[in-house]
Amino acid sequence: MEENIAIRVTDLEKVYKLYNKPSDRVKEALGFGRKKRHTVHHALNGINLTIKRGETVGIIGTNGSGKSTILKIITGVLNPTSGEVEVNGRISALLELGAGFNMEYSGMENIYLNGTMIGFSEKEIDEKIDDILEFADIGEYVYQPVKTYSSGMFVRLAFAVAINIEPEILIVDEALSVGDVFFQAKCYHKFEEFKQMGKTIVFVSHDLSSISKYCDRVVLLNQGVKLGEGKPKEMIDAYKQVLVGQYTVPETEGGSLLDDEQLRSLAAGEKTLTKEVNENPELLEYGSKKAVITQYYITDEKGNKTAAIIKGSRFSIHMKVEMEQDIAAPVFAFTIKNIKGTEITGTNTMFEKAFLSSVKAGESKEIVFTQEMNLQGGDYLLSLGVTGYEGDDFTVYHRLYDVLNLTVISDKDTVGFYDMNSKIEIK
C-alpha cells in the first residue's frame, strides 16, 4: 500500500444471518432438513474507500446504514464476510462507551490495560499518565472501579486514553454525545491539534455541524451501501435528501458493488420506509375510546411523509380521528418530548381556538398541525391525544404516548432546547 494511504477498504461486505428464534439456528447448524431457516442481512454491501494520511473523514448516514460496522472492521473488532481492509499506522479507537474497559478494574488500571492493548509499554504509559489524568479530569474517581462511574465520567476517561496515547489514526464513533459541552470543546480542540500534526481521523457522528466544521471529506452510507463521498456540504445536503426520500444518485456514482439502478432504487426506497422506521412498536395508549386516533404521520414542507425534518423548515403533524360516540367539544393535541421524557413543546385545538364544535358518532376528522421546526438537532418523541370535558370533568378519549420518532437535522445548534434564530449585528 502506498505510503500516503492510511486506510484502504476494498469490496467490503458484512453479512449476518438472522433467525426468528434460537432453535432455528441450532436446527440449521445440525443440518435438520434442507429448509433454510434464516434471512440474510447485508450490514455492508461492496464498500470501497480510501483514506489518505492526514485526512479527517466523516461517515454519515441513517441508523442501520453500516457506519459503526465499517469502523469495527477497520479496527479489527469484527471480521468482514468478504473484501479486504488495509491499515497503515497505529490505530486508537473510541467505538462505543466502555469498549475495551474492564468494569471491575479501577480507572487507573483500565488506562494501563487499554494502553497495553494498543501496543504501548508500561514505561510509555507512565510518561503519558499525567496528560491522560489532566484531560479526563475525574479526580480521585480514577482509583475507583469504572462500574461506579457516571456515563459522563466514563467517556471522559475513555476519550482521554484514546486521544493522549498519540495514535497515527484516531477513530471515533459517536462517543462524545454524552460528554458535557466543556468536555466536548476540549475534545474538538484536540481534534484541531491532531489535524495540525497531520494525524488521520475517521469520525462518525449525527452532529452535522461538527461533520461540516472538522471533516475534509464525508462518506454517505445508506443501508450498507456507499451512496457517495465528497465535500462536507455536498454530502450533508445529500444526507438530508436521503432522509426525506428525495436523493438522486449521480450517474457517475461509484464505490459499491451495486449498479446505478440498484443504488437509485435504494435511495428512493428510504421514502417508503420512513413510517415503519419511526413508529414505536411499544407505544403506550389509553382512554375511553369514545374517539379513536386511527391514522398519524409527519410530512415535510413539500408534503412528503418523513421521519426527519430539516431545522428551519416547515412541517406538519397529521392525525385522523374516528368518533365512536357523540362528543360535545373534542380537543385534538400533540406534544413533543426529548428522549429523556421532558416535554419540550406542544399545542392543541383549544389553545389555538381552532375547533370548538361538537361531533356526532360515525364522523371522522382529519387534523393537521403546521409549524416551523426550531428545535435543536436530535431525536424527539411525538405524542398525540383526543380529550375533552364532560360537564366539569376532564376526559381522555384516546392518547398515544411516544407514538412516532421525529429526527431534527441541523447544521447549526445553539444552547438549550430550541433556537431563537437570533440576528447578530456587530458595529
CATH number, domain with residue 329 = 2.70.50.60
List the CATH number of the domain containing 187: 3.40.50.300
Confidence at residue 200, expressed as pLDDT on a 0 to 100 scale:
93
Q: Among 265, 297, 328, which residue terminates a domain?
A: 265
Does residue 420 lie within any of the structural domains? no
Confidence of residue 275 (pLDDT cuts 50, 70, 90): very low
Does residue 46 lie within any of the structural domains? yes
Task: Please check whether residues 201 and 238 belong to one and the same domain.
Answer: yes
Query: What letter does residue 353 receive in the DSSP assignment?
Result: T
Does residue 224 lie within any of the structural domains? yes
Does residue 161 lie within any of the structural domains? no
What are the φ/ψ torsions at residue 285 (nearest 5 degrees)?
A: -135, 150
Task: Please check whether residues 307 and 240 belong to one and the same domain.
Answer: no
CB count, 10 Å around CB of 178?
16
Confidence at residue 246, expressed as pLDDT on a 0 to 100 scale:
65
Average pLDDT, rounded, for the chain:
85
CB 320 within 8 A of CB 337: no
d(CA 288, CA 8): 60
Query: What letter does residue 376 receive in the DSSP assignment?
Result: P
Residue-range definition of the domain harbouring residue 49: 5-89+168-265
| Grid coordinates given for 303 | 408534503
**Sign of the CA dihedral with 23 first, then 34, 257, and 6 last:** positive
Kindly tell me the burial class for residue 225, based on how many C-beta atoms sit within 10 Å of its own C-beta (0-12, 13-18, 19 or more): buried
Residue 51 has pLDDT above 80, yes or no: yes
> Which amino acid type is present at position 370?
T
What count of Cα atoms within 13 Å lies in the side-chain half-sphere of residue 159?
A: 30
Task: Please check whether residues 247 and 387 belong to one and the same domain.
Answer: no
pTM attached to this predicted model: 0.68
Q: How many domains does the chain divide into?
A: 2
Which stretch, 21-35, 145-159, 292-306, has highest mean pLDDT?
Answer: 292-306
CB 287 within 8 A of CB 401: no
Mean of the pLDDT values across residues 5-24?
88
Q: Which residues pair with 278 in a beta bridge?
A: none
Task: Please check whether residues 356 and 398 belong to one and the same domain.
Answer: yes
Task: Please check whether residues 332 and 394 belong to one and the same domain.
Answer: yes
Task: Please check whether residues 228 and 353 belong to one and the same domain.
Answer: no
> Which amino acid type is present at position 399?
R
